[in-house]
Every structure is written in structure tokens, then in C-alpha cells.
Structure 1
Amino acid sequence: MIKVMSFNIRYGLADDGENHWNHRKCLALARIQAFGPDLLGLQECRDDTQADFIRANLPDYHFFGTHREGPWDTALEMAPLLFRRAAFTLLDSGCFWLSETPEIPGSISWGSAYPRTASWAKLAYRDTGAKLTYVNTHFDYEPAAIDGDAQCLRHWLDQQGSHSPVIVTGDFNTGKDSKAYRLLTGEGALIDTFRQVHPPEENEATFHAFGRPEEMAPIDWILVSDHFRVLNAQIDRSHVGNLFPSDHYPVMAVLEWKA
């Protein structure tokens, strides 16, 4: 059994008033610890005191993230992946940029507002030795860039081969009626874990802008290859009054390997 979580924790420098990172960081950490994921994908995690807090309070996890770079104050943001050392052994890891030149750090294409990355790790499951590739990403929000990011990621995944078990987490900045969603889930590519368990008409919103119903959108997904069976999938909508762990709800899935 593999427990997976994707969680956009909202960058720590944002002027969010009562929902500033300093007020909600312990609540965000508590939601991670409550689920206890084996694989954890974070988005908007800055490599400053924000990442330091995550590393210090999740000592049982290996943390791998790469600055997305660029000339702006967002250069320190990462889309890091974490895995529980007791569950997995690291075989290899790396990062590529969602652009027409993915090997060039900080590269931008398709009118993207910022450089965007995908972090990946090849892991061996300690219980059985079975291998998988885990990818965590954060797409841009410009429409053309979202499609380009999806094409770039799909191309990279296709290069890994259909024989390779894959788990992808991310903030994709687009809904499930989009071209990007179809690119990643069409033709038997990847399976949307939430929709494997819940009907499409159920509430799938994950972005909520700190509790604003008019802003809600289903943009955070956990996608897996057909090597896995989805046992459960949920959206954690926990909050304490007007204090939220983030402006996104974390999404979670429980998987098992198919025979």
C-alpha cells in the first residue's frame, strides 16, 4: 500500500493577512502528518524559512527540490517531492523545466508567466523491491503555457516507457475539462485517482482562495499509471474557523500494486 498526497502550501511571502504562512504553517504540517503520506508533492514551497520548516518537521522524509529560477522574487520557489525513507530507496532523481528546452534551467516557453519545473525520482519500494517513477510538478496559469506544460510532461513520461509504473502529483492550474487533462489522462496514459473512486459530478474543487466559494476549481490531481489500483482518494477540507492550511486543499490517494 502506498499513500500519496499533493499539496500546494502557498508561498510563505504572500500577503495573506490572517492566513499568512506564519499563522497557518502548523496547521498545514498537521494535515500532512494526519495522513502520513509515503509520497508527498508540494507546490509553491520557497527555499527559505518555509522549506526549512518543512524539512525540520518531517525528518523521516527525503526532500528533493530545485529552484525554478528566473529573474523574479519567485526564483526560490520549488515543486519539491518528498518520500518516506522507511518506504522507499532512492535510485535516481532530477528535474526538468516545462519548456521547449527542458534541460535549460529557468527556461520559459508558450508565454509562461514564470519558469516551471517537474521534479522526479526513481524509487524502489522497500517491501518488495518494485520500482516506480514519482513526478511532482506545478504548471503555469497562462492558457497556452498550460497546454505546453502538459505536452512537455507527457513527452517526458512517454520516454520512460509504458512498462514503468508512474505516479504524478501536481497543481495543474486547470480543470478536468481542459486539453491538458485530456493530454495526461487520454489514450490510457494516466488514471485520475479521485475519479476512480468518486463520480465526475461530485465536488472535486481543490483551490478555494482561503474559503471563497466563487473561486473554487479542481486543479490539483494525483495521476497514476495502470500498474496501480486505487483503494481510496479524498480531498482534505479541514480548517479551523477562518484559518486554512493553504489556499488549496490537499488531495490524497491510497494505492496498491496490481499483481
Structure 2
Amino acid sequence: MMRYTAKYLKMSLLMFLFTTVGVAQNLTVISYNIRYNSQSDGEDIWDLRKGELVGQINQHSPDSFGVQEATQIQMQYILEALPEYAYVGVGRDNGATKGEYSAVFYLKEKFKLLESKTFWLSETPEEVSVGWDAALPRICTYAQFKEHTTGRVFWHFNTHFDHVGKAARANSALLIIEKIKSLVSTESVFVLTGDFNASPNELPITHLKNAFRDPLEYIELSGPEGTFNAFNLQAPLDRRIDYIFFQGLTPLSYAHLSEKRANGRWISDHLPVKFDLAY
């Protein structure tokens, strides 16, 4: 009971602060590790699930969404299947089209793109690089948008932490916090989406929760506790490694989407995270 009371009080405070500012505008944001197009995935290869993946995105109609593990061929397919969106981002291996993207897609009719950039999660973030004890290059892509109808400004940061390097994950969190604080004022609105390859009690998430806000501190989760299924139909779904953090927004709902393909298999090896909010 105390946990729910604390969430209610936090939410009430956010709503009070928000309603003193102006009329609410609703946004929907999604974070989605779409699983790269590996030819060793058998029944779960990209070509067999790509149509239902873009159908799922279309069904939930996000205003912006961040993808992880997307290769150039996947990026092109999503762009062609969902022409109402544009994207910002680059491949992590060369800063162009090679390697996985952590791209941000956005509705062209809703937002004007003001600024975008990608930096590497390493000691040399302005260069293509592998940081600390990471196994692979890792990146964060961000975009600053202006809403056409209201003129309100909104930032979206998107990332994918290393799956091997413990120090890399912790330092990546600190680097992203530093970058966001250097770019975004404390009054500005932003979301940070991503696959952080870390559970809620691990150091990278502790760093991020200390700096920013986790919607689940304010509202209840809809869907399974976890976000990683590994294409296992019997997965317990108790491992939360995909998150959306925020600032300057009022959380409305937060869900781990567990829809499956028509044949009963998973759409990706991660569940997408959907965040409805007002700002």
C-alpha cells in the first residue's frame, strides 16, 4: 500500500506542476530492439517477421521511436513501410551506413528537426571507437524537434549499451548523463530510450535513475515485468533491460508490449517499450 501511495503522491506533484504551465500535448514514444537481420535465426529471421514488426509499430502510432540493432537494410525497410516517418542516425561501425544503428524515427508532419548527432560510448565520443571493456562499438543518437503546431521543443536520445563490458555500461551511463546535461536545460523536455543491457538494480540504471526519471516510479507497468525473450516462447519475461527515462513530462502509461506474430512466435527477441506522456 505504501508503494502505491508514494507513486500517487509523486504523480500528483507532477500533475500539479504540469497544469500550472499550460495545455497538455500528448506524445507516444517507443523503444524497440528489433534484433539485427541474422541469417542464423531460423524461424525468426528478419524476412519472416519484418512485416508484423512494422505493423506493430503502425498499430501503436508513436510520435517518435528509437530502434536498436537496426542494420541499413532494416532501416530502409522500415522507412519504406512507414513513409510518414523520417529518421536520424548512423551505423556505429563507420559513422555512415556500416553496422547497427541506434536511430530515432519521428513523424515528419508533427515535428521539425532542429538538430541531431551521434556520439560513441567511449573515452573518445566524437570518433568511431570502442569504449572501456566493451566488445563492440556503441553509440547514442539524439534529435531535437520542434512541434509544428505548438512550437514546443522535445529531445529524443536513443542508445544501446554493450552486452559484455560491465565498466563500459557504467561509464556509458555517466557519459550520457554528462552529454544530456550539457545539451538540455533542467526545464527542457526529453526522453532517453534504449536497450541498456542492465537490470534495474545494476549500477548503470542506478546512475540513470539518480539523474533522470523512471516512469515506473510514478505509474504502474502494463505487461510483463521483463523485456527480453531471446525468441524463447517459454521465456519467464522477468528481465527488464529496455527502458525509457524522461524529464519535464507527465507520464500517462508505460507498457512492455507482448504481442506476437500470427504464428505465435515473437516479433523480436525484445519486447518494445511504449510510453504515453503529456508535455
Provide the TM-score with structure 2 as the length reference. 0.84
- Quick one: structure 1 residues 24 and 216, their matched pair in 2 at CA, closer, same or farther if it must change by over 3 Å? farther
User: Is residue 2:246 matched to residue 1:224?
Assistant: yes
| Bigger Rg, which one | 2
SS in 2 for 1:78: coil
Conserved 8 A contact 2:92-2:138: yes
Shift of 1:199: 6.4
Q: Is the 8 A contact 1:209 1:216 kept in 2?
A: no
Q: Distance in 1 between matches of 2:217 and 2:86?
A: 29
The match for 1:112 among 108, 116, 134 is 134
5+ residue gaps, structure 2: 1-25
Letter paired with 1:110: W
Instruction: Name the SS for the 1:155 alignment partner.
Output: helix
Unaligned ranges ≥5, structure 1: none
Who is 1:8 aligned against? 33
SS at match of 1:54: helix
Q: State yes or no: 1:22 paired with 2:47.
A: yes
Say whether residues 1:197 and 2:219 are aligned partners.
Answer: yes
Change (3 A) 1:61 1:171: same
Determine whether 1:213 maps to 2:238. Answer: no
Q: Is the 8 A contact 1:194 1:253 kept in 2?
A: no
Report how far residue 164 of structure 1 moved. 2.4
After TM superposition, the score normalised by the length of structure 1 is: 0.90
Residues 1:180 and 1:126: Cα distance change in structure 2 (over 3 Å): same
User: Which one of the candidate residues 73, 78, 85 is aligned to 1:54?
Assistant: 78
Identity of aligned residues (%): 32
1:95 aligns with 2:129: no
CA distance in 1 between counterparts of 2:150 and 2:204 reads 34
Tell me, in whole angstroms, the C-alpha distance in 2 between the residues paired with 1:37 and 1:20. Answer: 25
Deviation, 1:16, is 1.0
1:5 maps to amino acid = I
The aligned counterpart of 2:89 is 65
CA contact (8 A) 1:5 1:37 kept: yes
Aligned residue in 2 for 1:76:
99
Runs of 4+ residues deviating >4 angstroms: none
Measured in 1, the distance between the counterparts of 2:196 and 2:101 equals: 14
Question: Where does 1:109-188 land on structure 2 (aligned, <5 Å)?
Answer: 109-141=131-163, 142-160=165-183, 161-186=185-210
Task: State how far apart, in whole Å, the 2-side matches of 1:245 and 1:51 are.
Answer: 16
Distance across 1 between alignment mates of 2:34 and 2:135: 20
State the 1:214 CA deviation.
5.2
Between the aligned partners of 1:199 and 1:61, the Cα distance in structure 2 is 27
Q: Is the CA contact (8 Å cut-off) linking 2:130 and 2:136 kept in structure 1?
A: yes
SS, match of residue 218 in structure 2: helix
Distance 1:115 1:83 in 2: 25
| Coordinate RMSD, CA, aligned | 1.9
1:32-88 CA distance string (max 9 Å, x none): 01100001100000012x222111011111111211016xxx942111100111221
Q: Shift of residue 206 of structure 1?
A: 0.5
State the 1:13 CA deviation. Answer: 2.2
- Classify the secondary structure of the residue corresponding to 2:243: strand
**Secondary structure in 1 aligned to 2:136?**
coil
SS in 2 for 1:77: coil
The answer for the alignment partner of 2:23 in structure 1 is: none
SS in 1 for 2:133: coil
1:205-239 Cα distance to aligned partner (Å, 9 max, x none): 001111342575101111111x1001111111011
Structure 2 residue identity aligned to 1:97: W
What is the Cα deviation at residue 136 of structure 1? Answer: 0.7
Question: Equivalent residue of 1:124, what SS?
Answer: strand
- Alpha-carbon separation, structure 1, partners of 2:100 and 2:64: 20
